[in-house]
Structure 1
Amino acid sequence: MTRPRLHAARGPAGTAILDLATGRWTTLDPIAAGLLDWPPAPAERAALIEEATAHWAATGADPALVHTDLSRAAADLDRLRAGRPVHQTLPGPPPTVRFTPDARPPLHVRVAAVAGLAAALLVLRFLHIRHVVAVARSAARLPGRPASVHNAEAAVAAVRAAGNWWPGRVACLEESLAVHLTAALTGRRVHWVLGARFAPRGAHAWTEAEHHVVGQDEDDRVWPYLPVLTVPDSNR
C-alpha cells in the first residue's frame, strides 16, 4: 500500500509537517526547513551541505558543528519522507478570526449537529487520521454550497450545544470535524483545517467560512496558525 503523502506549510518561524501515515507532527526551524528544497541526490546534497557550512562558518559558527547538524537534519528528513512527495501549502493572507459565536441555530441545524458530533466522535475514536481525512473529504463532496459566516457559526453553536450532553472531552479536533460534518448535512460547505503554530508550539484544528475562522475560544488569541491541510482544498 502506498503511504500517504506529507502535508507541509512554511512560515517565518519555520515549517510544520503532518504525516498522514502516522498522524504525527514535525516542526522545522527556518534553516532545517530549507532542506526540503534540496535535491535528493547524495552528491548534490553533500555539495550543498559543504556550501552551507562555509556560509555559517563565515559568520563565526563552528563548522564541524554546523556540518554535523545539517547532515543529521537532512538524514532525518530523508527518513521522514521515505520517497514520498511533500504537498506544501502556499502562504496566503491570514483569515479573520471570530471568537465564540452568539448564534441561535434553527432546529434542522441542531438535529444535524447531534448526528455530526456523533459521527465525528466515532471516526476519531476508531479510525486512523488518514481515514478521518478521507471521511471529511467524502462529506465535502455532498451536494451543497459554500457556507456563509452565519451558517458556520450556527453550526458551531449547535455542535457545542450537542456537546454539552456528551460526558467526554470535545476538543478542537472533535468540534471542528463535527462542524464540518454538520454543515455538510445541512447542504453547506465549510473548510476543515489542520494546522500548527510555533510560539507556543502546538497543533490545532478549526473551521473556516468566507475566509473567517469561526468559533475560536476567547482565551486562545495566539494567531496565525499555519494551515497545513485543508478539506476540501487539499482533496487532490
Structure 2
Amino acid sequence: MIEPSLHAARGPVGAALLDLATGRWTLLDPIAATLLDLPAAGAERDAAIEDATARWAATGAAPDRVRGDLTRAAADLDRLRAGRPVHQSPPAPTPIVLFAPAARPSLRDRAAAGIGLAAALLLLRAVPIRHVVTVARLSARLPGRPAGVREAEAVLAAVRTAGAWWPGRVACLEESLACHLAAALTGRRVRWVLGARFAPRGAHAWVETGGHVLGQDDHDRPWPYLPVLTISDSNA
C-alpha cells in the first residue's frame, strides 16, 4: 500500500507541509525550514545541523538556541515523515489575484456547479483528504482544455450561486474543489491549489487559471499564500 504523501513548499519566511494522511498542516520558521534539505537522523544530519547553526550564528543568532531549535524540530519532522518522502513544490511566481468574479454563468455552468458542489460537499465530509485529492486528480484527466479567465470566473460564480442555497457552510475548500470539479464537467480545467500563509498562520484553498487566482477576498492584497499542493492536468 502506498503511504499518503507529504507535500511541502518553501518561501522567504519559512516552509509549509501538508500531510495527506491526516490533512494537517505544519508550518516551519526559516531556521527549521532548512531541515527539509537535511538527511535522515544520524551523523550526517548532526554535521548538517552544526553547519546550519554556524551559518545562522554568522547572522547574529545565538548558536545554542539555533542548535536546540534545529534538533527539536528535526525530531518532530522525523516523527511526521515516518520514512515517507517529502514532495517539495518548486518556487512559484507571484500570481495575479482577481476578486469578485464578474462573468455571468451559462445554464451549463450552473448545472455543472450544482453537481460539482454536491460532489465536493459529499467528498469532504465522507472520506479522508487523501481520497479527495485522488478524485480531484482523476477529474483533471477528463478530456478538456485549460479554462480562460472569464470561463473560470463564470464557473466560480455559478458555484457561489449554488452554495447560497446550501444550509451549511461553504468555505474555501468546498468552493474551490467544487469549481475544479465543475470546470472539468464542462470540458475545461482549472488548477486546484492548497496552500498556507505564515502571518497570521492559516491554510487556504483556491483555483487558478492562466496565472490568475480567482475570486479572492479584497484583504488578500498582496497575495500572502504559499502554494503547497497543486492539482491540474500536468500533475494529475
Alignment TM-score, normalising by the size of structure 2: 0.94
Q: In structure 2, do the counterparts of structure 1 residues 78 and 157 end up closer, same or farther at CA, with 3 Å as the change threshold?
A: same
Name the structure 1 match of 2:137: 137
**Whole-angstrom CA distance in 1 between matches of 2:75 and 2:14:** 18
State the Cα distance separating 1:72 from its structure 2 match: 0.9
The residue identity in structure 2 corresponding to 1:29 is D
- Number of corresponding residues: 236
State the Cα distance separating 1:54 from its structure 2 match: 4.3
State the Cα distance separating 1:112 from its structure 2 match: 0.9
State the Cα distance separating 1:52 from its structure 2 match: 3.5
Q: In structure 2, do the counterparts of structure 1 residues 70 and 163 end up closer, same or farther at CA, with 3 Å as the change threshold?
A: same
Name the structure 1 match of 2:67: 67
Alignment TM-score, normalising by the size of structure 1: 0.94
The residue identity in structure 2 corresponding to 1:141 is R
Are 1:120 and 2:117 matched, yes or no? no
Identical amino acids, percent of aligned pairs:
73
**Whole-angstrom CA distance in 2 between matches of 1:61 and 1:104:** 54
Verify the 8 A CA contact 1:192 1:207 in the aligned structure 2.
yes
**Whole-angstrom CA distance in 2 between matches of 1:15 and 1:7:** 10
Q: In structure 2, do the counterparts of structure 1 residues 67 and 165 end up closer, same or farther at CA, with 3 Å as the change threshold?
A: same
Verify the 8 A CA contact 1:94 1:224 in the aligned structure 2.
no
Verify the 8 A CA contact 2:31 2:66 in the aligned structure 1.
no
Are 1:106 and 2:106 matched, yes or no? yes
**Whole-angstrom CA distance in 1 between matches of 2:71 and 2:147:** 47
Q: In structure 2, do the counterparts of structure 1 residues 155 and 51 end up closer, same or farther at CA, with 3 Å as the change threshold?
A: same
Name the structure 2 match of 1:213: 213
**Whole-angstrom CA distance in 2 between matches of 1:150 and 1:195:** 23
The residue identity in structure 2 corresponding to 1:144 is G
**Whole-angstrom CA distance in 2 between matches of 1:209 and 1:147:** 6
**Whole-angstrom CA distance in 2 between matches of 1:55 and 1:143:** 50
Q: In structure 2, do the counterparts of structure 1 residues 98 and 233 end up closer, same or farther at CA, with 3 Å as the change threshold?
A: same
State the Cα distance separating 1:215 from its structure 2 match: 1.0
**Whole-angstrom CA distance in 2 between matches of 1:161 and 1:3:** 37
**Whole-angstrom CA distance in 2 between matches of 1:226 and 1:199:** 11
**Whole-angstrom CA distance in 1 between matches of 2:68 and 2:200:** 27
Verify the 8 A CA contact 1:14 1:30 in the aligned structure 2.
yes
Verify the 8 A CA contact 2:140 2:233 in the aligned structure 1.
no
Alignment of 1:1-236 (within 5 A): 1-56=1-56, 61-232=61-232, 235=235
Q: Deviations over 1:194-235 (max 9, x none)?
A: 001111111000000111111112344351311100002673
Say which SS state the counterpart of residue 15 (structure 2) adopts: strand
- Which runs of 5 or more structure 1 residues have no equivalent in the other structure? none
The alignment's C-alpha RMSD in Å is 1.7
**Whole-angstrom CA distance in 1 between matches of 2:11 and 2:60:** 26
State the Cα distance separating 1:2 from its structure 2 match: 2.8
**Whole-angstrom CA distance in 2 between matches of 1:201 and 1:59:** 25
**Whole-angstrom CA distance in 2 between matches of 1:222 and 1:77:** 30
- Which runs of 5 or more structure 2 residues have no equivalent in the other structure? none
**Whole-angstrom CA distance in 2 between matches of 1:66 and 1:209:** 41
Q: In structure 2, do the counterparts of structure 1 residues 89 and 61 end up closer, same or farther at CA, with 3 Å as the change threshold?
A: closer
Q: Deviations over 1:39-62 (max 9, x none)?
A: 225011112223334455566655
